[in-house]
Amino acid sequence: MNKRAILVFALCVTPAFGSNFAMPKHDHLFPELSEFAFGMPFPSVGSPKDFPELYTHNVVAREIADVSFVGSFGLGIVGDHEAYRIVSIARHGPGEDADTKCETPINKTLALQAIAAWRAVLLGTRFSDDVVSGADGASYHFSMMESFEQPPGILQHQPLYGWVWAPDPGTAPHRLVELAAGLGQLCRSKDGDHKHELTRLLTEAAGSIVAGTSK
């Protein structure tokens, strides 16, 4: 089982642990910890120091996943003058497998649908009284920078970011995690026919996330 498959497996099985307890419902992203909260900086998975390749100006959207006892995984959607590509990176601990990285171009339709899915789920980020994380399993950190004109002629920038641990199956965060995993699979695929079919399925999945969050 490869490392990314372990990540998806961790997502699927984590809610089963402690199933005798009433588990909070992780159906939305939670705000990232901030140094403004308690007057001290918090170490954070997925900082520019950990994944500098995913924090350059042309990375439109990113996911950083931290999987207990396995490592960290990063995925970015990169846009360069209307051309888009996926960058997927695996970081492993000392004594583990060497870090791996892949890049592949993707068509504009898939890129824009995936970016829209990131935005739709991130706009639902909020505080609630059911935030929880565990000693094992996986946490997922999503972020992007949104640019828009408001008022007309004045360019504004808005950072969007949120995280979740073990999102419930079928929820928007869970579907976004699956979309990111699928994009990572697309990056690693060497089969042209498989890439074509996977592109079609991922485009549909991203569109479904946007439609589901707009209701």
pLDDT at residue 33, rounded to an integer: 74
Largest CA distance in the chain: 56
Q: Answer whether 179's CB lies under 8 Å from 97's CB.
A: no
The model's confidence at residue 208, banded by pLDDT at 50, 70 and 90, is very high
> Domain residue spans in the chain?
3-18+36-213
The per-residue pLDDT for range 153-189, each reduced to its tens digit, is 898 888 999 999 989 899 999 999 999 999 999 999 9
Tally the C-alpha atoms within 13 A of residue 112's C-alpha that lie toward its C-beta: 5
37 pLDDT tier (thresholds 50, 70, 90): low
